[in-house]
């Protein structure tokens, strides 16, 4: 509980390298994550090479951490390995569909979270990069991912060179529903988000972007409708190209 409650995103790392032995321990712990039908529908591409990181950085919108982290871990939904096993074993796989992709994506994310917890338990810092699916096609080409393999998320890992403050979170009561979903009234929504909106960092964020509210920063600047629709269409095309959609 203490480890989980102390989580922060680390974006500055020391020059100290992660040994192959420690990295392997993280993967062993990651592989103990829950998985659909014990199929383990994931693969992880490990990026250490500086030249490769330089090629990956623009695909992660040039976030500095993508260049400076000693290790980048790209977690992929992977039905390729399982399908090949089926085919060489005289079984007829039927996993070229969206539901199978979703199953593999969940598996990959579960493993990623286990690896993150194991890394923090070992004293390492991690930073989740939410940009992987935006440029999945380009990452696929760079990493030479075959059919039925799609990158889902990337985690930067290294020895921390900073101790950042924790990010705010909504009250737990705002996300818990007993037995059935309790929809939110306007008053409840405003109450739940009031703490976040009153933070000095949020006020500064709103002012810097010339908006009237924190919500407008999200809808008009950070995650715009046009961008969401563009990247949605792009990712659906990737799923077709990788064999998960007809």
pLDDT in tens, 1-60: 999 999 999 999 999 999 999 999 999 999 999 999 999 999 999 999 999 999 999 999
For 141-187, give the DSSP string: HHHT--TTEEEEEEEEEE-BS--PPPPP---GGGT--SSS--PPPHH
Q: At CA 169, angle to CA 102 and CA 111, rounded to 5? A: 30
Mean pLDDT, to the nearest integer, of 135-143?
98
pTM of the model: 0.95
Name 104's Cβ contacts closer than 8 Å, sequence gap at least 6: 41, 42, 77, 78, 79, 150
Strand order in the sheet with 71-78: 42-47, 71-78, 149-158, 125-129
- Give the integer Cα–Cα distance in Å for 58 and 110: 26
Domain locations along the chain:
2-165
Sign of the C-alpha dihedral computed for residues 192, 168, 77 and 218 taken in this order: positive
Helix (H, G, I), strand (E, B) or coil at 99: helix
Give 2-165's CATH code, choosing from 3.40.109.10, 3.50.50.60, 3.40.50.150, 3.90.10.10. Answer: 3.40.109.10
Task: Please write the tens of the pLDDT for every residue from 79-135.
Answer: 999 999 999 999 999 999 999 999 999 999 999 999 999 999 999 999 999 999 999
């Amino acid at each position: 509980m203490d480890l989980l409650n102390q989580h922060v995103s680390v974006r500055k790392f020391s020059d100290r390298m992660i040994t192959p032995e420690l990295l392997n321990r993280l993967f062993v712990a990651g592989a103990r994550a829950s998985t659909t039908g014990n199929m383990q529908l994931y693969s992880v591409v490990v990026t250490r090479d500086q030249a490769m990181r330089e090629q990956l950085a623009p695909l992660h919108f040039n976030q500095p951490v993508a260049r400076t982290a000693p290790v980048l871990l790209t977690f992929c939904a992977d039905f390729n390995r399982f399908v090949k096993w089926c085919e060489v074993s005289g079984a007829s796989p039927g996993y070229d569909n969206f539901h199978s992709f979703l199953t593999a994506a969940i598996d990959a994310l579960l493993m990623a979270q286990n690896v993150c917890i194991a890394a923090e338990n070992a004293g390492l810092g991690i930073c989740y990069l939410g940009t992987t699916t935006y440029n999945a096609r380009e990452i696929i080409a760079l990493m030479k991912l075959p059919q039925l393999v799609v990158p889902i998320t990337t985690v930067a890992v290294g020895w921390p060179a900073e101790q950042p403050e924790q990010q705010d979170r909504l009250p737990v009561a705002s996300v818990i529903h007993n037995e059935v979903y309790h929809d939110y009234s306007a008053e409840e929504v405003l109450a739940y988000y009031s703490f976040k909106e009153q933070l000095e960092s949020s006020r500064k964020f709103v002012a810097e972007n010339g908006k009237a509210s924190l919500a407008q920063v999200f809808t008009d600047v950070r995650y715009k409708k046009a961008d969401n629709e563009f990247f949605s269409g792009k990712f659906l095309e990737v799923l077709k190209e990788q064999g998960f959609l007809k």
